[in-house]
Amino acid sequence: MAGILIQVSCLILGIISTTVGLDNGLALTPPMGWLTWERFRCITDCKKYPDECISENLIKRTVDLMVSDGYLEAGYEYVGIDDCWLEKKRGPDGRMVPDRERFPSGMKALADYIHSRGLKFGIYEDYGNLTCAGYPGVLGSEQLDIDTFVEWDVDYIKLDGCYIEPEHMDSGYPAFGEMLNKTGRPILYSCSWPAYQEDAKMLPDYASIAKHCNLWRNWDDIEDSWASASKIMDWFGDNQDRLAQHAGPGHWNDPDMLLIGNFGLSEDQAKTQMAVWAVLAAPLLISADLATMKPEFKRILLNKDIIAVNQDKLGKQGLRVWKQRNISVWNRELSDGERALAFVSQREDGIPYAVSLTFKDMQLPEQTYEVQDLYNEEKSRTVSPGEEFNVRINPSGVKFYKFIPKNKVLGSVQAKQILNSNVFNNEINNKH
């Protein structure tokens, strides 16, 4: 019976689906925010774990910290509840019911609190008839659930893909997005569409995915370990030729959440994830307990220069351009001719490793650059065509630089000199 319902629902979704793509004007740069899943998973026992259970208290505490500790000011604007926020059964009217004990005020009241603090409200559901943790999914109740999300003033929906066959996603996800569009409310749409198809050894239609989703999970769930983060970086590098071309303003590949501030990454490894995610133009979605965030990890997450790379208006996903001896170079073209280059070590031999690379190795256009260290560990330096660029990287660490064309630097200096001269002359003239 369940199989028949799935087939009927998918047929209806296919009929509803049109060639009209997502058109909500959102995510012109990669979304930034905070999600519950990686750190808090499906912790629902608030008696045993009062500070960690998925609840309105956790969300309100996080919202307050995002404001007071500078995360909102830095650009992290979404606060998202992942799986396990629902009651196990829908209400008599067929509507979703938030867990009555953990969300006693209801989702509309929680959304009002989030909005009152200047942030936006994100929530999770699943395209199947159940979520991955076994709570009610949207299948068969798509329009009712979307109407409910609109009534709750939701700003971001993450739609997972458990309990549905991957081949049905090519019609279902676009249809759901089309229904979102018709509400008139701008709701960021995060799809898990390709992740399940990649896992099933299918070939996702990334052109269609980019047309219908603001962001999409491509591959495995990230786990709180360097091994997991490193594996995801490798996968994105190995598959970049079919992924990167589909990223850009309004639609982004998503390698999954930032682990920074949890248990599994050292400070060097956290810097590496932040740098590579910035080069990939990836969504920056923290999943950590902000109440226990250590200062060194907070500095990484709030690094304005690296956030600026991630949010660069050109919106071009960077590429892994060189890899040898477990050292890789990731190059992202930025607006105004600048480049961001991350030199990543996946070595485990215990000492910093030195490499010397040519412009060709780094795939840099041949001109003279001023090189600025985005982690402020080195003084700025200049590199010119014909020279090799020398860098020494800690094991499982990164060196992250911005390469600024020298003529742009000189032009900026000259412009400032002219401006200062004009100001000085105006002051003299005014005195006379």
Percent of the chain predicted with pLDDT > 90: 88
Q: Are residues 193 and 337 in the same domain?
A: no
Domain assignment present for residue 1? The answer is no
Domain assignment present for residue 17? The answer is no
Q: What is the largest CA-CA distance in the chain?
A: 91
Q: Are residues 360 and 303 in the same domain?
A: no
296-347 pLDDT per residue, tens: 999 999 999 999 999 999 999 999 999 999 999 999 999 999 999 999 999 9
The number of distinct structural domains making up the chain is: 2
Report the alpha-carbon distance of residue 134 to residue 232 in Å, rounded. Answer: 26
Look over the chain and give the mean of its residue pLDDT values, rounded to a whole number. 92
What would you report as the CA-atom Rg of the chain, rounded to the nearest whole angstrom? 24
Q: Give the CATH number of the domain where residue 53 resides.
A: 3.20.20.70
357-403 pLDDT per residue, tens: 999 999 999 999 999 999 999 999 999 999 999 999 999 999 999 99
Q: Are residues 174 and 268 in the same domain?
A: yes
Q: Are residues 328 and 285 in the same domain?
A: no
Using the 3D structure, point to which of 280, 310, 340 is the last residue of a domain.
Answer: 310
Report the alpha-carbon distance of residue 195 to residue 159 in Å, rounded. Answer: 12
Domain assignment present for residue 418? The answer is no
Residue 119: pLDDT over 50: yes
Domain assignment present for residue 421? The answer is no
DSSP 335: G
Active site residues per annotation: 160, 221
Report the alpha-carbon distance of residue 186 to residue 157 in Å, rounded. Answer: 11
Owning domain of residue 249? 26-310
Q: Give the CATH number of the domain where residue 326 resides.
A: 2.60.40.1180
Residue 355: pLDDT over 70: yes
Question: What is the reported pLDDT for 410?
Answer: 56
User: Strand pairing of 398-405 and 339-345?
Assistant: antiparallel
Residue 223 exposed, middle or buried by CB count within 10 Å (0-12, 13-18, 19+): middle
Domain assignment present for residue 21? The answer is no
Q: What is the DSSP string of 7-38?
A: HHHHHHHHHH--S--------SS--EEEESHH
Q: What is the DSSP string of 389-419?
A: EEEEE-TT-EEEEEEEEHHHHHHHHHHHHHH
Question: What is the reported pLDDT for 211?
Answer: 97
Report the alpha-carbon distance of residue 36 to residue 289 in Å, rounded. Answer: 9
Residue 10: pLDDT over 90: no
Q: Is the torsion defined by CA of 222, 159, 74, 41 positive or negative?
A: negative
Residue type, 287: S
